[in-house]
Chains A and B, each alone.
Chain A
Amino acid sequence: MEFLSYLISGISLGSVYAIIALGYTMVYGIAKMLNFAHGDVIMVGGYISFCAISYLGLPGWLALILAMVVCTVLGIVIEGLAYKPLRSAPSLAVLITAIGVSYFLQNTALLIWKAAPKVYPSLIPTTNAQGESNALQLFGGQLSISYISLLTMASCIVIMIALTLFTSKTKMGKAMRACSEDKGAAQLMGINVNATISTTFAIGSALAAIAGVLLCSSYPTLQPTTGSMPGIKAFTAAVFGGIGSIPGAFLGGLLLGVIEAMAKAYISTNLANTIVFAVLIIVLLVKPAGLLGKYVPEKV
């Protein structure tokens, strides 16, 4: 029973990683760049929803929508100001810029919200007004799953299905896949590549906002560096699953969450991150393109 409860907390954490990793992987797949500022968009989403709930007294769902709108706009602005001018620059320049944007966001947050951690008002608090626990009790109370974990897992699955349908069925999704393969040819077929990349950033950032709200609801301390560690973990998850692949990001995120939870439970809390990254290295040694990635040998 203990194992099952660790497993569920791992899947719940993994779901958050998966949502973040989906953003990483979509942007990488289409713009062929690593958006290291993605983690910090999560933090911005966290702060926006925090302000909406604590200062404006908005209900949780409205705070979530507000955070999504702000992050979507933020994503489009970041892409337009920082990355678009570098479209034909070497990828190293874009990478450095992304790191710069990441620090810019962190320090702006530091200026606005100060360094002291905020206590995040969870979307679904662990106990309700009557002091009863907000959790699903199974096996006569032996296993309890908090509602926020259930919400996180459900959101992850819904997002995953929606994204898969979007990319496979709609014209924008098809345009994204076309751009991901060959931007030049896509342009020559009348596809507006810049608009496609902006849309990708918008979707990725909206997902980051959702991830931010869910993450802070489960781990309710919010500070300017909140986004960086989950960001890096989610990036790891995306690489683990095969960067550029949507099911890969989903699988990678879940596995990473479970490995982390198990390592914390059975090995050592301090070593958990070491173990997570060790697993990544081993997987990449065996499957260089990640679990679901496609290894394309360079044609010479």
Chain B
Amino acid sequence: MFPKLVPMPSPNLLTERDADKTPILECINLGINFGGLAAVENFNMAIGRTEITGLIGPNGAGKTTVFNLLTKVYQPTKGTILLDGNDTHNMTTAQVNRAGIARTFQNIRLFNDLTVEENVTVAMNAHMRYNMWTGIFRLPAFWKEERVAHERALELLSIFNMADLADTKAGSLPYGAQRRLEIVRALATNPSLLLLDEPAAGMNPSETAELMENIRKIRDTFQIAILLIEHDMNLVMNICEGIAVLNFGRIIAKGTPEDIQSNPAVIEAYLGKQKEA
């Protein structure tokens, strides 16, 4: 059912089809301290170019902190992040996004006063080429670029069957649609790695099933890598090809879903140590 994983030089796992290509993301000894607390330490991970990877762990394990490190919301105190083989250490958040990492948020952070379509097109800004003067004087380039953006936005929205909501204010969408719009908005930045922070939070089982389909569809259509944080084990075990488990800021296990499910360290982290009989 799952592609075979082959060992990498570092203790990483890559799917076989991606093994001979540069990983889209490679973290080497990544770490950050908040005061005296090492929120994340010795974080090593490589993600293949078309891999769906899960990052799981108990609450407070540092999963979202890892996302914030990858997107440069926090500056790492230690270690290196290689995005497609390029070091990102002197990039800003916006530059990292342009270089190919897009994300969604655990608590939805849409631009509520913008329409659904504007939420998507604003994310394409970095890839639109007209300058301010062209915009002010409405030169042909402006209309052309805006039309392309409009068409692209509708195309992306239709993946999630949201094209008919294009003119609705994002803030007035129902919860599930807001979650989907966040994914569309992230895709609009044209990423090669998509970070999803608890995409299934607050969804019912049928919505979650649909979400799983969509995540696979996104990977297959755009041929991008996806790293997701999720507490819904059904989703994680079903769609992730590789899983890393984080506890107290450190990776305690890595492997295929089967490996993880039977890993004693993982069971201990989630359920506590079993009393000796």
A binds B: yes
The minimal Cβ–Cβ distance linking B152 to chain A, given in whole angstroms, is: 13
Which residues 109-168 in A have Cβ within 8 Å of B in the complex? 162, 166
Chain A, residue nearest B190 (CB):
A190
Asked if A178 meets B122 with Cβ closer than 8 Å, knowing A184-B73, A188-B97, A188-B102, the reply is yes
Q: Give bound CA distance, A182 to B110, whole Å.
A: 8
Size of the chain A interface, CB-CB below 8 angstroms: 24
Contact B97 A171 (CB under 8 A): no
Contact with A along B181-205 (1 / 0, CB 8 A): 0000110110000000000000000
Q: How many A-B residue contacts, CB cutoff 8 Å?
A: 87
Kindly list chain A residues whose C-beta atoms are within 8 Å of the C-beta of B121: 171, 174
Chain A, residue nearest B170 (CB):
A181
The minimal Cβ–Cβ distance linking A161 to chain B, given in whole angstroms, is: 12
Q: Give bound CA distance, A251 to B71, whole Å.
A: 41
Contact B111 A171 (CB under 8 A): no
Q: Give bound CA distance, A215 to B93, whole Å.
A: 42
Asked if A190 meets B109 with Cβ closer than 8 Å, knowing A166-B136, A171-B128, A172-B135, the reply is no
Q: Does B219 sit within 8 A of A, measured CB to CB?
A: no
Q: Give bound CA distance, A199 to B186, whole Å.
A: 25
Contact B114 A192 (CB under 8 A): no
Q: Give bound CA distance, A29 to B79, whole Å.
A: 38
Q: Does B168 sit within 8 A of A, measured CB to CB?
A: no
Q: Does B250 sit within 8 A of A, measured CB to CB?
A: no
Kindly list chain B residues whose C-beta atoms are within 8 Å of the C-beta of A181: 111-114
Kindly list chain A residues whose C-beta atoms are within 8 Å of the C-beta of B145: 171
Kindly list chain B residues whose C-beta atoms are within 8 Å of the C-beta of A88: none
Q: Give bound CA distance, A193 to B73, whole Å.
A: 13
Kindly list chain B residues whose C-beta atoms are within 8 Å of the C-beta of A184: 73, 109
Kindly list chain B residues whose C-beta atoms are within 8 Å of the C-beta of A187: 73, 92-94, 97
Q: Which of B105, B109, B111, B189 has the most A CB atoms < 10 Å from its CB?
A: B111
Size of the chain B interface, CB-CB below 8 angstroms: 36
Contact B113 A185 (CB under 8 A): no
The minimal Cβ–Cβ distance linking A234 to chain B, given in whole angstroms, is: 24
Chain A, residue nearest B114 (CB):
A177
The minimal Cβ–Cβ distance linking B248 to chain A, given in whole angstroms, is: 26
Contact A189 B123 (CB under 8 A): yes
Q: Does A52 sit within 8 A of B, measured CB to CB?
A: no
Q: Does B98 sit within 8 A of A, measured CB to CB?
A: yes
Contact B132 A174 (CB under 8 A): no
The minimal Cβ–Cβ distance linking B71 to chain A, given in whole angstroms, is: 6
Q: Does A33 sit within 8 A of B, measured CB to CB?
A: no
Q: Does A270 sit within 8 A of B, measured CB to CB?
A: no
Contact B102 A189 (CB under 8 A): yes
Q: Which of B98, B125, B189 has the most A CB atoms < 10 Å from its CB?
A: B125
Q: Give bound CA distance, A199 to B118, whole Å.
A: 20
Q: Does B160 sit within 8 A of A, measured CB to CB?
A: no
Contact A185 B94 (CB under 8 A): no
Give the dominant DSSP class at A's interface.
helix
The minimal Cβ–Cβ distance linking A28 to chain B, given in whole angstroms, is: 15
Kindly list chain B residues whose C-beta atoms are within 8 Å of the C-beta of A69: none
Kindly list chain A residues whose C-beta atoms are within 8 Å of the C-beta of B109: 182, 184-185
Contact A166 B94 (CB under 8 A): no
Q: Does B6 sit within 8 A of A, measured CB to CB?
A: no
Kindly list chain B residues whose C-beta atoms are within 8 Å of the C-beta of A170: 132, 135-136, 142
Which residues 137-193 in B have Cβ within 8 Å of A in the complex? 142, 145-146, 149, 185-186, 188-189
Contact A178 B97 (CB under 8 A): no
Q: Give bound CA distance, A181 to B114, whole Å.
A: 9
Which residues 2-23 in B have Cβ within 8 Å of A in the complex? none
Q: Which of A166, A169, A175, A199 contacts B125 (CB 8 A)?
A: A175
Q: Give bound CA distance, A182 to B112, whole Å.
A: 9
Kindly list chain A residues whose C-beta atoms are within 8 Å of the C-beta of B188: 189
Kindly list chain B residues whose C-beta atoms are within 8 Å of the C-beta of A191: 94, 122, 125-126
Chain A, residue nearest B110 (CB):
A185
Q: Which of A172, A173, A177, A190 contacts B98 (CB 8 A)?
A: A190
Contact B94 A171 (CB under 8 A): no
Contact A188 B98 (CB under 8 A): no
Q: Give bound CA distance, A172 to B132, whole Å.
A: 7
Q: Does B49 sit within 8 A of A, measured CB to CB?
A: no
Contact B135 A166 (CB under 8 A): yes
Q: Give bound CA distance, A163 to B186, whole Å.
A: 28
Q: Give bound CA distance, A189 to B93, whole Å.
A: 9
Asked if A188 meets B112 with Cβ closer than 8 Å, knowing A171-B121, A171-B122, the reply is no
Kindly list chain B residues whose C-beta atoms are within 8 Å of the C-beta of A182: 109, 111
Q: What are 20 A-B contacts with C-beta separation under 8 Å?
A: A170-B132, A170-B135, A170-B136, A170-B142, A172-B132, A174-B125, A177-B113, A178-B122, A181-B111, A181-B112, A184-B73, A185-B105, A185-B109, A185-B110, A187-B94, A188-B93, A189-B185, A190-B94, A190-B102, A192-B126
Using a CB–CB cutoff of 8 Å, the interface residues on chain A facing chain B are 162, 166, 169-175, 177-178, 181-182, 184-193, 199
Top 9 closest pairs, chain A to chain B, by CB: A170-B135, A190-B126, A190-B97, A185-B109, A187-B93, A189-B123, A174-B122, A181-B111, A178-B111
Knowing that A177-B113, A177-B118, A184-B109 touch, tell me 20 more A-B residue pairs with CB under 8 angstroms: A162-B136, A169-B146, A171-B124, A171-B128, A171-B130, A172-B132, A174-B114, A174-B121, A174-B122, A175-B125, A178-B111, A181-B112, A187-B93, A188-B71, A189-B97, A189-B186, A189-B189, A190-B126, A191-B122, A192-B126
